[in-house]
Amino acid sequence: MGVGVFADNLISALNLSRTQLSTAYMLGTIGSSLLLPFGGTVLDRVGARVMLAISSFGLGLSSALLSQSDRVASYFAPDSFYAVMFVVTACFLFMRFFGQGCLAMVSRVTIGKWFNHRRGLATAISGVFVSFGFSVAPRALDELLRTWGWRGACLMLAGTVGIAMFIVGLIFLRDNPEECGLVMDGVDDEAWHSRMAAKIPKTRREFTRPEALRTPAFWAFNFGVSTQALVVTGLTFNVSSLGAEVGLSREQAYELFLPMSAFTVATTFVCGWLSDRIKLKWMLIVMLVAQSVGSVGMMGFGESFGWWLLVSGFGVSGGFYSVLLTVVWPRFFGRKHLGAISGVNMSTMVLASAMAPVMFAKAYELTGSYREVIAVCWSMPIAVILLALTAENPQEKISVEADASQFRKV
């Protein structure tokens, strides 16, 4: 969410075109997506606490390197376009791997391991801060950039994440409740768990990563959240340019993120409550419809009606997105291999988001407008809806088969 804010400054400092910077972003992001399945496997082995410390330090170091990227490139090869592209691509690779990849994965996997029947509620509470942070980040970072300059802003972020979050993770985070002598949901009451099990299927099988990848449900949710990542990344990376196309100033373009966050926060609470009560595939379908509505709004960004379609569409889909990412994988596939399964999902999302800046920049370069690429954006979630209709919880199928087997024995 923050890289787009620095795009114009990086273009100027590095002497790159928007398409070249977007290409570096895409290459770095693709590289990080290839590493994320490995990151998920490491998370399962070392635990969330160690992984959070490593990822925080790595993201802080990457942000510090980005603040000096033009100077580093000039030091090794003055006036070399290829040196600049190599350095900025490496910065994006490490930022995406440690940041949106590993840090986000650790957060979601930890909630999945600590909660079961209250997972939706826990996700809703967490989602308020996540959604608000994602939505206000572009505007807040823009103010930080204006005050301290782009180098100073990067260095302040490096200290906040690389030092402060590193310390917080080591002190407060634990991988699962069992290692602290606790139980999931914080309730050690068999009667309560029996009542709650009537709403949420019991985890009868711990799916491995290959087993999870063979289910239609994995790919339906994987593609659903990945289209969200692609479209929203394209919007935030090019929001000032999108606004300029319809006659809005940079400040006016960034104003959309605050009301969007209000929709997201409200939706996150509702979704967290609903996720413990209804089938998740219906929530996925609503998210995809909201995505499409938001993309249609981008076409009329400069008009009041289009502005509200954009804000409400992506605000609502963002609320569903944050809840589903945390709830669906442990509920469908169990906790044992959660890092490895989430790693594949994060890899796909990061790969999708890598494509977005180049898609938008190239479309604008070829046609002088974003309308064609926006048309692609609103049609993609509609196509995924067809797959979403098949996204049943694999645990429910196992439960039915187990009951049938028990009946035959009797």
User: Domains along the chain?
Assistant: 3-175+189-385 (1.20.1250.20)
- How many CA within 13 A on the CB side of residue 179? 10
Query: Is the pLDDT assigned to residue 201 strictly greater than 70?
Result: no
Q: Tell which residue, 8, 22, 100, 10, has the closest CA to residue 359.
A: 22
**Residue 121 neighbours by CB distance under 10 Å:** 16
Residues 382-409: what's their mean pLDDT?
A: 73
Q: How confident is the model at residue 410 (pLDDT cuts 50, 70, 90)?
A: very low
Residues 225-236: what's their mean pLDDT?
A: 88
Q: Is the Cβ–Cβ distance between 396 and 200 less than 8 Å?
A: no
Q: Tell which residue, 124, 136, 144, 150, has the closest CA to residue 325.
A: 124
Query: Is the pLDDT assigned to residue 227 strictly greater than 50?
Result: yes
Determine which of 254-268, 272-286, 305-319 has the lowest per-residue pLDDT on average: 254-268
Token pair for 375:
């048309």
Q: Is the Cβ–Cβ distance between 148 and 160 less than 8 Å?
A: no
Q: How confident is the model at residue 1 (pLDDT cuts 50, 70, 90)?
A: low
Query: Is the pLDDT assigned to residue 409 strictly greater than 60?
Result: no
Rg for the chain, CA atoms, rounded: 22
Q: How confident is the model at residue 356 (pLDDT cuts 50, 70, 90)?
A: confident
Query: Is the pLDDT assigned to residue 281 strictly greater than 80?
Result: yes
Residues 293-317: what's their mean pLDDT?
A: 88
Look at residue 101 in the predicted model and tell me its pLDDT. Answer: 83
For residue 95, is it left (φ>0), alpha (ψ between -120 and 50) or beta? alpha
The model's pLDDT over 121-147, given as tens digits with 9 standing for 90+, comes to 888 888 778 767 776 787 788 888 889
**Which is more confidently placed, 365 or 72?**
72
- Listing DSSP states for 328-359 in one string gives HHHHHH-STTHHHHHHHHHHHHHHHHHHHHHH
